[in-house]
């Protein structure tokens, strides 16, 4: 285990006041059920290494840390401050036996001052993911480094088109053996978003939003991936009538659903019954859902909020809604079948929110603005039309 201490002070070689916020990281080893202190890590080129008597703010080495096997990555978001170039950096340490650790210095070629490169770091095997959330006036970016032989290379930059200043893409990073995740908590008035990439498969991308997203939630301010699950933090959610920012929420997703989910209808018509899905998991906001005509039962949504990424309703298939049914599609809806309300009443208000593009197959083409359609409240943020 490794623990960062970004405010750690380092003594001046010639005496006097300590240099503040230089930072360090501390390694602990599990031996016979007990955590034993192993070693203190310090950057070999940190603040004061070139200026022995300098006093001032430090690199904040240890602001973020991660460990995988015999490798540790440490972020220093203000590295370079001693020469008035606080761009940030990351350090990778590899165990060489005993108390010996080798050090590799990582920094992107295109970063500028105050990019906060290294504010968040993650490592898995031969891959390291480093966030730089204040790059490009706060648009943010991230870099994926891959070790080839003895070198970590220059890093592949990951950015998102259309982001705005203050989104802070790269404010959270995580990766496993197949996927990487990047948080963008300041996007859309700090409602936030998280991006998942299949970096072993041409960087296929999907986007996650919370099922009850609101302005100021800061969804994506932190996240973490395991092999089977993905957790996202939203630091400032308001729940149960409490003041804004008083509670916070964590959202847990199944990684089995990140890029696909198929309706079988094997048990009944209930969308919320896991037995009706091929992998026995109810879809979440990252799931691409396909509803086929050959399913034993067609899906029904009532008294719940259903979520998905992209939704495909094949020809001959039907998605039905009860009076209180609500579906949010974080991606596109391609409807070659039909969407229906099962029980019409004056109090019914089924709702569909589509954050991507919506395609209703039919004769001709007609633009569909958001509004009320045959008792359905339809809200679209992308290009919505009938063809």
66-70, 76-80, 120-124, 338-342: range with lowest mean pLDDT: 338-342
CA atoms within 13 A on the CB side of 298: 18
Predicted confidence (pLDDT) at residue 53 exceeds the cutoff of 80: no
Let me know the angle formed at the C-alpha of 279 by 276 and 281, rounded to the nearest 5 degrees.
70
140-154, 296-310, 351-365, 367-381: range with lowest mean pLDDT: 367-381
Laid out side by side, the sheet with 249-254 consists of 219-225, 229-234, 249-254
Let me know the angle formed at the C-alpha of 313 by 361 and 299, rounded to the nearest 5 degrees.
140
Q: Write down the pLDDT at residue 205.
A: 81
Answer whether 88's CB lies under 8 Å from 108's CB: no
Q: Write down the pLDDT at residue 356.
A: 78
pLDDT band at 300 (very low <50, low <70, confident <90, very high): very high
The pLDDT tens digits of the residues spanning 82-97 come to 777 888 999 999 999 9
Q: Write down the pLDDT at residue 52.
A: 43
Q: Where are the domains of the chain?
A: 2-257, 261-386
pLDDT, average across residues 359-386: 65
CA nearest to 41, candidates 63, 58, 23: 23
Q: How far apart are CA 290 and CA 321, in angstroms?
A: 17
Predicted confidence (pLDDT) at residue 54 exceeds the cutoff of 50: no
9-13, 328-332, 340-344, 361-365: range with lowest mean pLDDT: 361-365
Q: How far apart are CA 144 and CA 157, in angstroms?
A: 7
Predicted confidence (pLDDT) at residue 351 exceeds the cutoff of 90: no
Q: Write down the pLDDT at residue 30.
A: 93
DSSP 132: E
240: left (phi over 0), alpha (psi -120 to 50) or beta: left
Give SS3 for 118: coil
Q: Write down the pLDDT at residue 108.
A: 93
DSSP codes of every residue in 263-320? B--SS-SBTT-GGGBTTS----TT--EEE-TTSSS--EE-SSEEEESSEEE-TT-EEE
DSSP codes of every residue in 49-114? SS-TT--S----EEEEEEEETTEEEEEETTTTGGGT---BEEEEEEEEETTEEEEEEE--TT--TT
Structure tokens at 367: 């633009």
Answer whether 103's CB lies under 8 Å from 157's CB: no
Structure tokens at 246: 């008083």
Percent of the chain's residues with pLDDT above 90: 42
Predicted confidence (pLDDT) at residue 166 exceeds the cutoff of 80: no
pLDDT band at 349 (very low <50, low <70, confident <90, very high): confident
Q: How far apart are CA 63 and CA 81, in angstroms?
A: 15
Q: How far apart are CA 163 and CA 175, in angstroms?
A: 22
Give SS3 for 141: strand
Predicted confidence (pLDDT) at residue 366 exceeds the cutoff of 70: no
Structure tokens at 19: 């240099």
Q: Which class is domain 2-257?
A: mainly beta
Any residues with CB less than 8 A from the CB of 98 and at least 6 apart, and which?
none
Higher pLDDT, 60 or 367: 60
19-28, 134-143, 238-247, 339-348: range with lowest mean pLDDT: 238-247
């Amino acid at each position: 285990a490794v623990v960062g201490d970004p405010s750690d002070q380092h003594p001046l070689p010639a005496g006097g006041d300590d240099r503040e916020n230089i930072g360090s990281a501390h390694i602990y080893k599990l031996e016979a059920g007990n955590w034993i202190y192993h070693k203190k890590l310090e950057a070999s080129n940190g603040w004061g290494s070139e200026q022995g008597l300098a006093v001032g703010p430090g690199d904040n080495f240890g602001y973020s840390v991660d460990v995988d096997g015999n490798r540790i990555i440490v972020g220093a978001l203000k590295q370079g401050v001693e020469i008035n170039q606080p761009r940030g950096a990351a350090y990778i340490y590899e165990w060489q036996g005993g108390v010996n650790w080798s050090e590799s210095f990582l920094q992107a070629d295109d970063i500028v001052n105050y990019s906060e490169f290294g504010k968040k770091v993650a490592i898995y095997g031969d891959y390291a993911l480093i966030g730089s959330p204040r790059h490009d006036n706060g648009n943010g970016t991230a870099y994926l480094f891959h070790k080839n032989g003895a070198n970590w290379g220059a890093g592949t930059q990951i950015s998102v088109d259309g982001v705005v200043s203050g989104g802070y893409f790269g404010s959270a990073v995580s990766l496993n053996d197949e996927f990487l995740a990047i948080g963008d908590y300041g996007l859309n008035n700090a409602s936030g978003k998280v991006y998942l990439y299949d970096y072993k498969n041409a960087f296929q991308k999907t986007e996650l939003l919370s099922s009850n997203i609101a302005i100021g939630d800061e969804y994506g301010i932190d996240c973490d991936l395991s092999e089977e699950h993905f957790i996202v933090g939203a630091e400032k959610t308001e729940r149960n009538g409490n003041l804004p920012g008083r509670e916070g929420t964590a959202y847990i997703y199944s990684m089995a659903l990140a890029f696909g989910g198929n309706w079988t209808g094997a048990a009944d018509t209930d969308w919320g019954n896991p037995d009706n899905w091929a992998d026995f998991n109810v879809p979440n906001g990252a799931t691409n859902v396909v509803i086929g005509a050959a399913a034993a039962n067609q899906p029904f949504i009532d008294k719940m909020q259903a979520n998905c990424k992209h939704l495909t309703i094949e020809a001959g298939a039907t998605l039905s809604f009860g009076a209180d049914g609500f579906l949010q599609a974080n991606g596109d809806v391609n409807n070659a079948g039909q969407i229906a309300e099962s029980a019409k009443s004056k109090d019914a208000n089924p709702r569909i929110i589509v954050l991507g593009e919506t395609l209703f197959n039919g004769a001709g083409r007609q633009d569909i603005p958001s509004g009320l359609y045959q008792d359905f409240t339809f809200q679209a943020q992308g290009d919505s039309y009938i063809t």
